[in-house]
Amino acid sequence: MAPQILLLKEGTDTSEGKSHLISNINACQAVVDIVRTTLGPRGMDKLIQDDKGKVTVSNDGATILKLLDVVHPAAKMLADIAKSQDAEVGDGTTSVVVFAGELLKNSKEFIEEGVHPQIISKAYRKACELSLQHLNHLAIDIAGKSPEEKQTLLERCAQTCLNSKLIAGKKEMFAKMVVEAVSSLDPDMDIAMVGIKKVQGGSLSDSQLVKGVAFKKTFSYAGFEQQPKKFTNPKIVALNVELELKSEKENAEVRIESTQDYQGIVDAEWSIIYDKLEKIVATGAKVVLSKLAIGDLATQYFADRDIFCAGRVPEEDLKRLMKATGASMQSTVNKLTEDVIGTCEVFEEKQVGNERYNFFTGCPYAKTATFIIRGGSEQFMDETERSLHDAIMVVKRTLKHSKAVPGGGAVEMELSKLLREYARTIHGKSQLLISTFAKSLEIIPRTLCENAGLDATDILNKLRAKHASNLSSVGIDLTTGEICDTWKSMVWEPSLVKMNVLSAATEAACLILQVDETIKNAQSNQGSDSFGAGGLPGGRRGGGAGGRGRGRPF
């Protein structure tokens, strides 16, 4: 009898085989069932309360899966593809999870019948490749369009994205603002240059777009209200310097022999800060901003000289302001030359709701924009911020990859038809598997119908008939509950969103299908990954895992 090799630590949990693969698919299906009802304009929202009691209301797939904190290793892959979809294109996070889950669900019967997962994966990848090729032919390029047509297309793409969000009622207003904000950015379209601020109170329609930098008035000392609140073409200084009198450190010791010595120490402290303030004033700057505190002495000093100052400015806002105005962060007040001083056309402090905001507009360097969101509750404004982020990403991707496709399930139905036609031209298992991929694509229009309370079977039958007649842009009109030409109805989506959904979902499904065993390491008191094989990390030559105790027979 061959000797047993002790490889894994005692208590290590393993599961493998067909039943394990089915179990992984069922776990993924449970995740899909959670987010499925959020898809589309008639999708529902999820209310999630975390362990600290914070409540989040959202229908964004990536946000929901992030807050759910999925721990099942296979199901976690679906959460990861939603996250990657959100980072890459911003929209389609629910679609990618739903489609991946449907691919896995439809592959379950093949697994149970003994079809090897590699064969399924190969067919799915082939179907995905064909889908992407067809998608390029279906897409309409806006590169050569007039500025007005391009503007219209971008607004329609933004509206389609916002249509399924909490702020769908104001989608025209916000779509216009989003397109205006992204179009005003520099050619590199750095989204970090678009700020989103939330001011509680007022209605959603009170939200505004500022073509520049805006941030909430920082903590201020006495004398602040005496400072001017508006400048035209001011010089702007950005500092990383504390402008206040500082006491000595707690463990500092100074030995003095007379009151004159003590007075000299006090005078030195005052002369140091006055020297700093005089050098700042000498530059001619009218707006002084610091990442660190600006104390009451400096605030009053600047107020007496008609200079505006703000300390403890958030780093994110200060970075945007520096890029936009041309100012450079200085950690000393010495040599404040013209090349490190910024400027803008207008600086103004204004009231927004119950808050005071500082506005910097007409910035000559990097272009930037700031959304100021108004709303009744914190949760509503948070969801509005997430919705705007999705729309901003969609418009950015459409500008960079200037192709759009009709939405409302039209693209999925057309790709499904084309794949079924291709499947009839081949033989073997691939024919069934590619047909299965085609069937899985129909989950998107089916779910849109179900979430809107429509008869999915009836609508899909009508869609199949229209697409069989070569009407490739016919999709679902969820307003009337019938089918329509979604291209004419202005329901458009960037082709990049659909491409990413297809490729990411296919890759995730194939990855999960190719996992034939899961090994969970037992808890280790040593806190190290260890194997009993000689020479491997944490193991002793010839011993069990971690060099002690018994391992399980491998």
Q: Which helix (H) or strand (E) holds 315?
A: helix 315-325
Q: Which residues of 412-451 are buried (b: 16+ CB within 10 A; e: fewer)?
A: bbbbbbbbbebbeeeeeebeebbbbbbebbbbbbbbbbbb
Q: How many residues does the chain have?
A: 554
Sign of CA dihedral 539, 545, 548, 552: negative
- Pairing relation of β-strands 235-239 and 287-290? parallel
Residue 197 DSSP symbol: E
Residue 278: strand, helix, or coil: helix
Q: Are 492 and 404 in contact (CB under 8 A)?
A: yes
Query: Residue 312: which region, alpha, beta or left (left: phi > 0; alpha: psi -120 to 50)?
Result: left
d(CA 223, CA 302): 9
Known catalytic membership, residue 69: no
Known catalytic membership, residue 398: no
Query: Residue 102: which region, alpha, beta or left (left: phi > 0; alpha: psi -120 to 50)?
Result: alpha
- DSSP H helical ranges for 401-527: 410-423, 429-441, 443-451, 456-468, 495-513
Which is catalytic among the residues 63, 94, 368, 398?
A: 94
d(CA 515, CA 520): 14
Amino acid at 1: M
Residue 200: strand, helix, or coil: strand
Which is catalytic among the residues 38, 60, 299, 368?
A: 60
d(CA 152, CA 174): 14
Neighbours of 18 (CB within 10 A): 12
CA atoms within 13 A on the CB side of 216: 14
CA distances for 368 relative to 188, 211, 382, 452, angstroms: 12, 6, 21, 38
Known catalytic membership, residue 390: yes
* Cα 123 from chain centroid (whole Å): 32
Known catalytic membership, residue 457: no
Which is catalytic among the residues 390, 436, 486, 506?
A: 390
Which is catalytic among the residues 38, 63, 93, 398?
A: 93
Residue 481 DSSP symbol: T
Residue 532: strand, helix, or coil: coil
- The residues that are catalytic are 60, 93-94, 390
